[in-house]
Amino acid sequence: MELRSGRRLRRSPPPPPPPPPMDLISSLPDEMLLLILARLRCFRAAVQTSVLSRRWRGLWIGLTDLTFRGLGPAKIEALLRRLAASPEVVSTLDISLSWTQDTASVNSLLRAAFWLSPEQLVFAFKQTHIAYHITTATSSCLASATPPRSS
């Protein structure tokens, strides 16, 4: 744009870009983040939060109430073995299998569940509508028991 005097009008430089939004959730203490993860009520979703940021990676290991849905016994057992290394005490372990499994994989999964010594263990087979609720007293006895042999 030119002025009457023939001089050109200078444009002002463009404004700087706005700062990126602050991640207020990740700045919360671990205890608050664990409360958020616990509210998800789904272990798979809690583990998936690890992709949000480095701050969330591995945070799910600190959960004390664990609910497993839609995972196969081998995957659940692998996660339980990883959790066994955590110093956290598991208060509730809720496992629901939605299909019929072979006895060996279910026995192996139950043994892995007992390694965690949860205060309450809920083990359900959805197809049969059978759920087993096992308390601490029962689980401590069963942890050292061996499964009966089939004849």
The pLDDT score that the predictor gives to residue 143 is 45
Look at residue 145 and tell me whether its pLDDT is greater than 70. no
Distance, in Å, from the CA atom of 39 to the CA atom of 41, rounded to the nearest integer, reads: 5
The 10 Å Cβ neighbour count of residue 75 is 13
- List, for residues 11-64, the tens digit of each pLDDT value: 788 888 887 777 788 788 989 998 988 888 888 888 888 887 788 888 888 888
DSSP 55: G
Helical (H) or strand (E) element with 136: helix 136-142
Question: What's the mean pLDDT when you consider all of the chain?
Answer: 77
Strands 92-97, 65-69: pairing is parallel
Question: What are the domain boundaries of the chain?
Answer: 61-142
Look at residue 99 and tell me whether its pLDDT is greater than 80. no
Structure tokens at 51: 């992709």
